[in-house]
Amino acid sequence: MVTTAPSRVHLAPTRRVAPWRDVRLRGIAAQVITVGTVAAVVIYCAHNAIVNLEQRGIATGFAFLRREAAFEISSTLIDYSPASTYGRALAVGILNTLLVSFLGIVLTTIFGTLLGIARLSSNWLVQRVTGWYIEIMRNTPLLLQLIVWWDLLRVSAPLPREAFKPLPGVFISNRGLNLPIPVWQPVYLWMLAALVAGALATAVVAQRMHRRQELTGKQFPLVWTGVALILGPPLLLFLLAGAPLQLEMPVLQGFNFVGGESVTPEFAALLFGLVAYTSAFVAEIVRSGILSVSKGQTEAASALGLKPNWTLRLVVLPQAVRVIVPPMTSEYLSLTKNSSLAVYIGFPDFVSIANTEANQTGQVIEVIAILMAVYLTISLTISVLMNFYNRYVALVER
C-alpha cells in the first residue's frame, strides 16, 4: 500500500503576491473602477439636472401627484374628472393600459393560435392566404397599422345621428361602439359567487374523475358536467329571482351618446391593431412549435391507434406548448409595451397620460421614473407568471 510521505523538509517559502498582480485584487479593482465611473457620471448628470431645473423654476419631488390635473380623459375605467389629482389620472392610465394589454393577450393567443394552425392547413388556399397575412403584418410598422385601423374606424363609420344599429340599443358610429349595460342587481353578486363555486366544484370533480379513470378505466363526460356545474346554478338563481334585467340604454344627446357603455374608436383601433399585429408573430411561434415536435411522435401515436384528434391533444400539443411558451412570453411583453403607441392615436393609456403630465408640470424626471417603474412591474409580473407555467409544463429530464 502506498503511503504518502511527509512533505519535503525545505519548503520554499510562499512568496507574498504583489498586490497589483493578484488576480483577486485586480478583479476588485476593476469593479471599483467601473462602479466609480458609473457613479461619477450619474452624479454629474444629477448635478446638471438640479441646476437646470432650478433655472426653469420646476419643482422636484412627487408632491405634484396631489395637485389637480385639470385635463379631461376620454376613456376611464374608474371615476375621474378634471378636478381629480394627477395621481388619480395616472391610475386611470395604468388601468387603461392593463385593460388593453389583458384583452390583447387573450385575443392574440386565441387568434394567433388559430392562425398558426391554419398556416399548417392542408388547404393550399388557406395556407397561402394566412401566409400573406402574416408577412404583411410582420413587415409593416405597427404605428402605421394603428393609424390605418384608427382612420378606418373613424372615417368609415357614420355620424352619431345616422349610427348603424345592428341590434336594439347597440349603436356603431364614429364616436365608437355604444352598448346597453345592465344595471347592477343584488342577485348578480350571488350569481357571481355561484359561478366561482361551480368552477371550484368542476375542478374537484375533474380530479376525482381522473383518479377514477386511472383506477377503473371508465371515462367521464367532463366537459358537459363542467358546463352544467358552472353555468347551471347562476342561471337558476337568475330565474328564481324573477329574471331581473334592466338595461341602461345609450341615448343620443346632442352629438354624442349618454348612458350605457361605450367603446371608443381609439380603444377599438388600439386593441384590433395590437391583436392583428401580434397574432402574426404568435402564429409563427405556434407553427414552429408544432413543427418542432418530431414526426416520429405522430407516427408512434398513430401506430398505437390514437385518432388524429387525440394525437393532437395528448401527444403533439403538450410537447409543442413547451417550445412555444418562452417566445410566447416575449410576445405578451411586446404587446404590453407596444400598447404605449396609444399616445399617437389619442387613446389615454399610461404613457399618454404621463406624457401630458410631464408636459404640464415640467417634472419630467419624476414622471419618467414612475413610468419605468410601472412598466417594469408589469413586465416582471408577466415574466414570473409565465415562468411558473413554464416550469409546470417542463419536461422532467435525466
Q: Which is nearer to another protein, 35 or 183 (CB)?
A: 35
Min dist CB 337 to another protein, Å, is: 4
Q: Which of 329, 351, 331, 325 is nearest to 340 (CA)?
A: 351
The correct pick among 61, 139, 245, 254 for binding another protein (CB under 8 A) is: 139
Q: Is 134 in the site for another protein (CB under 8 A)?
A: no
Q: Is 293 in the site for another protein (CB under 8 A)?
A: yes
Q: Which of 327, 281, 272 is nearest to 134 (CA)?
A: 281
Min dist CB 306 to another protein, Å, is: 10
Tell me the CA distances in angstroms from 51 to 46, 183, 216, 366, 370, one per residue in order.
Answer: 9, 55, 78, 16, 22
Q: Among 172-180, 236-244, 267-275, 287-295, which window interacts with another protein (CB under 8 A)?
A: 287-295
Q: Is 376 in the site for another protein (CB under 8 A)?
A: yes
Min dist CB 275 to another protein, Å, is: 17
Min dist CB 353 to another protein, Å, is: 13
The correct pick among 95, 142, 191, 241 for binding another protein (CB under 8 A) is: 142
Q: Is 147 in the site for another protein (CB under 8 A)?
A: yes
Q: Among 60-68, 113-121, 177-185, 238-246, which window interacts with another protein (CB under 8 A)?
A: 113-121
d(CA 145, CA 280): 13
Q: Copy the grid coordinates of residue 242.
A: 324573477
The 10 Å CB-count burial string (b at 16+, else e) for 16-35 is eeeeeeeeeeeeeeeeeeee
d(CA 26, CA 284): 48
Min dist CB 52 to another protein, Å, is: 5
Report residue 182: phi and psi, to 5°: -70, 140
Min dist CB 391 to another protein, Å, is: 20
Q: Is 290 in the site for another protein (CB under 8 A)?
A: yes
Q: Which is nearer to another protein, 49 or 110 (CB)?
A: 49
Q: Is 8 in the site for another protein (CB under 8 A)?
A: yes
Q: Which residues pair with 173 in a beta bridge?
A: 176
Q: Which is nearer to another protein, 141 or 182 (CB)?
A: 141
Please tell me what DSSP assigns to residue 279: H
Residue with C-alpha cell 439636472? 49
Chain positions 315 to 374 lying near another protein, rule: CB under 8 A, are 316, 333, 337-341, 343-344, 351, 355, 358, 364-365, 368, 371-372
Chain positions 176 to 215 lying near another protein, rule: CB under 8 A, are none
Encoded one letter per residue, x for contact with another protein by CB under 8 A and - for no contact, window 26-65 reads xxx-xxx-xx--x-----xx--xx-xxx-x----------
d(CA 82, CA 66): 13
Q: How many residues bind another protein (CB under 8 A)?
A: 85
Q: Is-contact 386 109, C-beta < 8 A? A: no
Chain positions 84 to 103 lying near another protein, rule: CB under 8 A, are none
For Cα atoms 361, 363, 369, give the angle at the middle one, nearest 5 degrees.
135
Min dist CB 125 to another protein, Å, is: 5
Residue with C-alpha cell 368542476? 202
Q: Is-contact 90 370, C-beta < 8 A? A: yes
Min dist CB 280 to another protein, Å, is: 12
Q: Is 303 in the site for another protein (CB under 8 A)?
A: no
Q: Which of 108, 99, 138, 97 is nearest to 329 (CA)?
A: 108
